Structure 1
Amino acid sequence: MSHPAGTIGPVKILHTADWHVGRSIRGRSRADEHRAVLAEIADVAGREEVDLILVAGDTFDVVAPSAESERIVYQALLDLSGIAPVVLIAGNHDHPRRWRAVAPLFEMGRVTVGATLQRPEEGGVVRILTETGETARIALVPFVGKRGIVTADDLMALDPFEHGGKYAGRVEAILDKLTEGMTSDDVNLVVAHLMIAEGRLGGGERVAFTVEDYAIPATAFGGALSYVALGHLHRLQSVPAPAPVWYAGSPMQLDFGERDDEKGLLVVDAEPGLPATVRPVPLTAGRRLIQLAGTLEELETRAGEAELADAYLKIVVHEPARAGLGDVVRELFPNAVDVLLASPRDIGATGRDVRLGRPPRELFIEYLERVNASDDDVVALFDEMLGDADAT
């Protein structure tokens, strides 16, 4: 525990999110990296002697994860629950019914699962009594899609005038319902999987669920809250708001759009009636993603650099297309997962990557690039169709 028995002190919270266990990179498994980074998170939790652990959604990368992915996630949660109580919510990549099925078992091991949105008195708000003697009151806001938000209105018994009919207004009304009655006597927390309008994308998020229609204003979180733990965006960041609002980001680089991001988790000290203090803690277990660009001659000078040895590489070659060029580059950089020509029309001429085991969205984007038809709106529509298929 963080404080001697019988004394009252801050509640120390570890906030993590967006594990995306099961994510591969161009067909290469990242299971060992996920095991390593989740063990690193448990090490931080033990070293910091935290009182509470919040996991803000997207523990899995797909709604139907493999048995290996389930083993990795479930073992990580059990390891964390041996250190402190864990509160977890489902994200847009998670299947809420799968989480709801295993929730009773996890509750036996100090893991509370918010699989679907619930009324405050039916599990939408949970209270955790910490070993420091404080009570943490936590509103659970798992991801809700546009279709699900209508059902959520009925669940919360909201009137149409309370939200104006739009997604953002409805979510704000739900937040109001879940947090009403919170007083300064408790540590008041929200753990949510949401897109906040002021947040910055990390590069690996599903586009359809980060567009403007899903954006919630940061003002939705009132100043009476001690801390808001968010998942969904993969970049660790604070969001300007009346209360302390933070995204923990993903614990390792998941996509080349995240190659410049420093990954980590958040350690939070929260006391009743006061805004929390937040400290980022870096995580280093995952392999880095690095992009190189240049002529073949320029690339040859970088082959063998120490920082590239354990990284996944994306190579952009400034050369005319010719047979065998991709093979030459891969001989120089065996851990290259993408070899592309600088000209968009020639992308893919260096050889085809293995498709087996790669996410459908990744393959669809690659196809659009290959036919010179890249379009974010088309990708967003594909994501919506994919989401509908996943939910069936």
Structure 2
Amino acid sequence: MKILHTSDWHIGKQLLKYDLTADLDLFFEWLINYIKSEDIDVLLVSGDVFDQANPSQAAFKQYYDLLKKLINLDCKIIITGGNHDSSAVLNAPAELLKTFDITVVGGATQRVEDMFVTVEKNNETVVVAAIPFLKDRDIRKSAAGESYATKIEQIKSGLRGYFTNINNYYQQNYSGELFIVMGHLYVQGSELSESERDIQIGNQAGVEANMFGETPDYVALGHIHKPQVISREQNIYYCGSPVPLSFSEKEDRKQINVITVVNNEIENVDIIPIPKHRNLITFEGSLQEVEEKLNIYSEETTLTSLAEIIVNEEVESLERRQAFEALINSQFNSNIEVVKSRLNFRNKIRGASDAFEVGTDVADVTPMQMFEKKLELQSGLENTEELKNAFREILEELNL
């Protein structure tokens, strides 16, 4: 049996207002061809199917167009919800999708057994615990007046207890069968990128890898966009997002993971690179240096390269600002589209407008970064860490 692990599609995602629909279309086309050519038996999608809780009609169309193509393949599909997804939105067609051998678990269910899926193919049996993103109410009971530190510890303890219960249910009902656990959460030691939304209060409630215990044969994780191995010995993997979702991911090699099961054991985990169709590239230096780099850039890809421009100049001046604006608005290279730009002066006149560097787009700044900058500008404030923690809790409640 062959099992394909992917996650964090983020259908509907825009990179600084640039639509990534074409990137995902090319990935989905490749994915379908790979499933066909390699006779994949099971497809696992570990959360963040959509980028927004309320996807656009275009995002829904892309999702259902993909499912229509997948149901024509002899492949069991298991999809879980992530912190970007609305469990209600994902679950809405779940009963209908069951008829096409597609299991969707948008949110944690009341009954543990409803998140367990048994797959029997090619004389092999695999048991999958399809655990979606676990919300605060799924893992603990909140109390009025509790401290931030108490909440963090309760979340960690709640996650450990939840997955212990999952292992116990498996041992009581499926002991001896190959066992895969899906999850969408932050595990300590994971390397973040800029495009992950804070999960469970700024990732400070991240759990250790040993939380999963020794029971699962493979742990298929989602949420972290950079592919990485958390534990090779225990087969705990983040497969990462299939396309770069921020400039911090521009050097990442995107991948899927393919697990081969032989005689009820994992024979190997293969890392399969995803073809690259677009470059994200940063041009940094003085105005003259950046202009020269832009003009000589010649690498061609299927899709237009997206550029981040960072210009560093010594002395602030109106002339430099105007030259910078002219540079980013010029048609210097047909292979590039500038989606992010910043102008820095090493010696500049401080003023009320200096909260962020000149050229920073508000779309580049997270609410948390804006709040932290505001605290920096307010001299004399005490207990700033408590204020930051309180603000993180507000963002979590609002799902921002």
Normalising by the smaller structure, the TM-score range is 0.7 to 0.9
Partner of 1:313: 307
Residue 183 of structure 2 contacts residue 222 of structure 2 at CA under 8 Å; is this kept in 1?
A: yes
Q: Distance in 1 between matches of 2:369 and 2:326?
A: 19
Q: Which has the higher strand share?
A: 2
Match of 1:388 among 386, 397, 400: 397
Cα–Cα, structure 1 residues 278 and 61, in superposed 2: closer, same or farther, change >3 Å? same
Q: Distance in 2 between matches of 1:349 and 1:55?
A: 40
Residue 324 of structure 2 contacts residue 343 of structure 2 at CA under 8 Å; is this kept in 1?
A: no
Structure 1: gaps spanning 5 or more residues: 1-10, 153-163
Residue 208 of structure 1 contacts residue 384 of structure 1 at CA under 8 Å; is this kept in 2?
A: no
Secondary structure of 1:37's counterpart equals: helix
1:264: how far off? 1.4
Cα–Cα, structure 1 residues 103 and 176, in superposed 2: closer, same or farther, change >3 Å? same
Partner of 1:205: 196
Q: Distance in 2 between matches of 1:377 and 1:339?
A: 33
Q: Distance in 2 between matches of 1:122 and 1:23?
A: 33
Cα–Cα, structure 1 residues 273 and 204, in superposed 2: closer, same or farther, change >3 Å? same
Cα–Cα, structure 1 residues 325 and 35, in superposed 2: closer, same or farther, change >3 Å? same
Q: Distance in 2 between matches of 1:213 and 1:366?
A: 16
Cα–Cα, structure 1 residues 206 and 220, in superposed 2: closer, same or farther, change >3 Å? same
Partner of 1:3: none
Partner of 2:129: 139
TM-score (norm 1): 0.82
Is 1:82 the counterpart of 2:72? The answer is: yes
Aligned length, in residue pairs: 363
Cα–Cα, structure 1 residues 14 and 176, in superposed 2: closer, same or farther, change >3 Å? same
Partner of 1:53: 43
1:288: how far off? 2.3
Q: Distance in 2 between matches of 1:384 and 1:122?
A: 31
Q: Distance in 2 between matches of 1:22 and 1:70?
A: 8
Partner of 2:158: 170
5 Å matches for 1:105-120?
A: 105-118=96-109
Greater relative CO (CA pairs within 8 A, separation 6+): 1
1:18: how far off? 0.4
Q: How far does the alpha carbon of each residue in 1:84-106 deviate from its partner, in whole angstroms, 9 at most, with x for none?
A: 11001000000011112121121
Q: How far does the alpha carbon of each residue in 1:99-156 deviate from its partner, in whole angstroms, 9 at most, with x for none?
A: 12121121122210111223565412111222x122211112111122332379xxxx
Identity %: 25
Partner of 2:243: 252
TM-score (norm 2): 0.80
Q: How far does the alpha carbon of each residue in 1:13-65 deviate from its partner, in whole angstroms, 9 at most, with x for none?
A: 11100011111122221112221112222222222211100000001111011
Cα–Cα, structure 1 residues 233 and 52, in superposed 2: closer, same or farther, change >3 Å? same
Secondary structure of 2:18's counterpart equals: coil
Q: Distance in 1 between matches of 2:299 and 2:141?
A: 50
Q: Distance in 2 between matches of 1:277 and 1:32?
A: 32
Structure 2: gaps spanning 5 or more residues: 143-151, 347-353, 378-383
Match of 2:88 among 76, 97, 103: 97
Say what the alpha-carbon RMSD is for the aligned residues: 3.2
Q: Distance in 2 between matches of 1:72 and 1:40?
A: 15
Residue 153 of structure 2 contacts residue 205 of structure 2 at CA under 8 Å; is this kept in 1?
A: no
